[in-house]
Amino acid sequence: MKDVVDRIRESPKLPNPYHIGEICVLLPKDNPDLRGKAGYWGVVSHVGDYSCTVQTWDGDYTVKIEHLKLLELLDEDCQFMQQLCVRLRQLHQVASRDSSVDWLLQGLGKQAKPYLSSLQAKLLAAVEREYKLVWKQPKQN
């Protein structure tokens, strides 16, 4: 048994495959902290040796890498998702928000696609106007 433990300790460490700014989906598996978060997507904000911190619409989660699934997106799609995450987080921080806003946040927070339908974009913009949240799209180069 001691031999096995020593070999594991001496084995080369596999690098964490994730990078800051990438978009991942949470995989709760056996992690009780992720209960109810299946399918949530988020932005990698910190990369550790064996874990990552992921920002989602409703908070930050530090999870082992086996609790993440990378969405292989183009850079511009990652940027869109990063901006969408900021917008959803701003809405989530509105203390007096109507409960129907939570439905929208949950729906968009589980839709791991780098775009919004026309109706989704209009709904999000209407809710942002309702709570006087101004979203200015970054200028394209």
Are 36 and 63 within one domain?
Answer: yes
Query: Does the pLDDT at position 10 exceed 70?
Result: no
Task: Give the three-class secondary structure for 138.
Answer: coil
* Final residue of a structural domain among 50, 70, 90: 70
The boundaries of the domain holding residue 59 are: 2-70
Are 43 and 87 within one domain?
Answer: no
Q: How far is CA 98 from CA 43, 87, 88, 130, in A?
A: 26, 16, 14, 10
Are 86 and 121 within one domain?
Answer: yes
pLDDT of residue 141: 47
Are 54 and 81 within one domain?
Answer: no
How many Cβ atoms sit within 10 Å of the Cβ of residue 65? 17
Are 102 and 120 within one domain?
Answer: yes
* Final residue of a structural domain among 23, 43, 70: 70
pLDDT of residue 115: 96
The strand pairing partners of 42, in sequence order, are 24
How far is Cα 43 from Cα 56, in angstroms, rounded to an integer? 7
Label residue 137 by pLDDT band (50, 70, 90): low
* Final residue of a structural domain among 70, 92, 108: 70
Query: Does the pLDDT at position 41 exceed 60?
Result: yes
In a domain, 22, yes or no: yes
Report the half-sphere exposure of 124 (CA within 13 A, side-chain side).
24
pLDDT of residue 3: 67
Average pLDDT, the chain: 90
In a domain, 29, yes or no: yes
pLDDT of residue 4: 58
Cβ neighbors of 48 (< 8 A, separation 6 or more) are 16, 62
The pLDDT tens digits of the residues spanning 70-92 come to: 999 999 999 999 999 999 999 99
In the chain, the number of structural domains is: 2
The pLDDT tens digits of the residues spanning 94-116 come to: 999 999 999 999 999 999 999 99
